Chain A
Amino acid sequence: MDRLARSLLRLSTIVVLLFIYAPLALILVYAFNASGTSAWPPAGYTLRWVQDAIENTALRQALLTSIEAALGATVLALMLGTLAAIAVTRHRFFGRETISFVVILPISLPGIVTGMALSTSFATTGIPLGLFAIIVGHATFSIVLVFNNVAARLRRTAQSLEEASGDLGADSWQTFRYVTFPTIRTALLAGGLLAFALSFDEVIVTLFMAGGVKTLPIWIFESFRLARQVSLVNVVGLVAILLSVIPVLVASRLTQDSGGVTGARG
Chain B
Amino acid sequence: MTSTDARPTGNSMRRLAGWLDRHARVRLAMLLAAPMGWLVVAYLGSLTLLFLNAFWSRDPFTGQVVREFTPNNFVEILTNPLYRTVTLRTVAMAVAVTLTCAVIAFPIAYYMARVASSRTKGLLAVAVVMPLWASYLVKAYTWRLILSNDGVLNWLLSPLGLRGPGLGDNVIGLWLVFTYLWLPYMILPLYAGLERIPGSLLEASADLGGRGLTTFRRVIFPLVVPALVAGSIFTFSLTLGDYIAPSLVTTTQFIGNLIFLNFGVPDLPFAAALSIVPLVIVVVYLLVARRMGAFQAL
Contacts and interface: CB of A to CB of B under 8 A. Distances in A.
Given A108-B286, A117-B49, A171-B18, A136 B42 contact: yes
B144 A13 contact: no
Contacts of A110: 237-238, 240-242, 256, 278-279, 282
B223 interface: no
Interface in B132-173: 133-139, 141-146, 148, 150-152, 155
Given A6-B115, A80-B35, A110-B241, A241 B260 contact: no
B3 A170 contact: yes
A20 to B, nearest CB: 5
Given A20-B128, A91-B28, A174 B17 contact: yes
Interface residues of A, number: 90
A167 B175 CA distance: 60
A44 interface: no
Contacts of A233: 141
Given A91-B31, A124-B53, A140-B43, A16 B144 contact: no
Interface in A61-101: 79-81, 83-84, 86-87, 91, 93, 99
Nearest to B286: A108
B194 to A, nearest CB: 12
B39 interface: yes
Interface in A115-160: 116-121, 123-124, 136, 139-140, 143
A171 B34 contact: no
* From B18, B142, B187, B286, residue with most partner A Cβ within 10 Å: B142
A140 B38 CA distance: 8
Nearest to A248: B133
Contacts of B278: 110, 112-113
A16 B49 CA distance: 43
B93 to A, nearest CB: 13
Contacts of B124: 13, 17
19 contacts: A9-B110, A13-B108, A17-B108, A24-B134, A26-B152, A80-B34, A80-B35, A83-B32, A83-B34, A84-B32, A108-B286, A109-B237, A113-B50, A117-B43, A117-B49, A140-B42, A221-B244, A224-B144, A237-B141
